[in-house]
Amino acid sequence: MGDDAGPVVAYEEVTAAEFGVRAARTFTVEQVEPGVLLLGGPCPRCDAVISIPIFDRVFRYGGGSAGEKAPRYETVVCTCDEPHPGRPESRVGCGAFWAIGLREGPS
Amino acid sequence: MIELSPGPVPTLVDLRRAQAREALLRSELDRVRKAALAWRSGLGGLLVALVGFGLIKGRSDISGLEEGWAVVVGSLLGGALVTGVWGALAILRAAHGRPRVAEMADLPPLAVLDHREALAAAKALRAGIVLTLGCVGFLVAAVGVTWYGPVAREPALVVRTSVGGTCGTFVRLQGQSIVVRSKSGEVTVPLSSVTQIGGAVRC
Ligand SMILES: [Zn+2]
Ligand SMILES: [Zn+2]
């Protein structure tokens, strides 16, 4: 019953070339510490501001090797906390996903 | 400086992979903690069983051991104590974390903090497992040496006379003489010639 800013976006796993283009323009990236990047910006579908940490290593219990290098292209899924009707229990976000390219620029 | 660019339109496979990675990240700290708790119970049980086993069977103290070996057992038990305490602390640190105060200004997002903590906890857990197993090794070695180490020999007898001395074990008193078994056989020393009788750990 709040002051909703627009129509309710239902949960739907969708992608579009436009998502990637918009995110590349609006997202920022920051190196938090060695091996940890933080992407941040508004979701191109639901507009919620999300932050996506990208790690080199993730702990896995019971086998599996840690040490996966961050790929050049990252698939990003929306991880907003807002309610999106139809979202499965185990998921977060609005369902939007896209890819973003990370490149070491001239520093 | 990292530049962002639009990526190719991802496939459903890419989506599932990203979702799985996201779920893995979201739950990793929880999983490390649970793993640490499981290891804590398992290794604790192992130690309790081992201590119980060591107390029930075999020689229960080191007073029957030859002196040098008693020192070895003491060192092994010391090693077990150090690795045991250190290992237990490491596993507790993995299971429950470490209280920490951070500057608000440069506090990274929770996901980053949780991930950092998960990696630290996983490291502590690995160290704790190795240390606890080291403690088990020390205990097993200590118990083994206590059971199978050489028995302390009877103290040797040193009988000195004005012309020299004899070292060996007491055999008997024979008339006015004392019979001592030395390395070169039984030696009979007349008591009248004895100037001093003493003991020695070994000849
Ligand atoms: Zn979204
Ligand atoms: Zn959303």
CATH code (residue B182): 2.30.30
Is B37 among the domain residues? yes
CA-nearest of A65, A88, A66 to A11 is A88
Query: What residues in A contact B116, CB-CB < 8 Å?
Result: 33, 36
Mean pLDDT of B16-44: 91
**Same-domain status, B131 and B166:** no
From the number of C-beta atoms within 10 Å of its C-beta (0-12, 13-18, 19+), residue B128 rates as: buried
Q: Determine the residue type at B199.
A: G
- Give the best residue of B5, B26, B110, B125 to mutate against chain A (max A CB count within 10 A): B5
**Same-domain status, B93 and B20:** yes
Contacts of B178 (CB under 8 A, 6+ apart): B159, B170, B188, B189, B191, B194, B197
Q: Give pLDDT, residue A32.
A: 82
Is B5 among the domain residues? no
**Same-domain status, B137 and B166:** no
ipTM for this model:
0.77
CA-nearest of B124, B134, B121 to B43 is B134
Helix (H) or strand (E) segment spanning residue B170 = strand B164-174
Q: What percent of chain B has pLDDT over 70?
A: 90
Query: Would you tell me which residues 30-69 of chain A have a C-beta closer than 8 angstroms to some C-beta of chain B?
Result: 31-33, 36-39, 51, 53, 55, 57-61
B187 is in which domain, residue-wise? 156-200
Q: Determine the residue type at A75.
A: T
**Same-domain status, B86 and B181:** no
Tell me the β-bridge partners of B5. A101
**Same-domain status, B76 and B36:** yes
Tell me the β-bridge partners of B179. B172, B188
Residue A67: which region, alpha, beta or left (left: phi > 0; alpha: psi -120 to 50)? left
CA-nearest of A5, A19, A51 to B14 is A19
User: In chain B, how many domains are there?
Assistant: 2
- Give the best residue of B1, B2, B31, B107 to mutate against chain A (max A CB count within 10 A): B2
Nearest chain A Cα to B110, which residue? A53
Is B4 among the domain residues? no
Q: Give pLDDT, residue A71.
A: 41
How far apart CA B6 and CA B8 sit, in angstroms, is: 7
**Same-domain status, B31 and B71:** yes
Is B3 among the domain residues? no
- Cβ-contact B137, B85 below 8 angstroms: no
Per-domain residue ranges of chain A: 17-104
Q: What is the pTM of this model?
A: 0.67
C-alpha neighbours within 13 Å on the C-beta side of residue A74: 25
CA B193 remoteness from chain centre: 53
**Same-domain status, B140 and B186:** no
Instruction: Give the lowest-confidence range in A55-69, B16-30, B112-126.
Output: A55-69
Query: What residues in B contact A31, CB-CB < 8 Å?
Result: 2
Is B7 among the domain residues? no
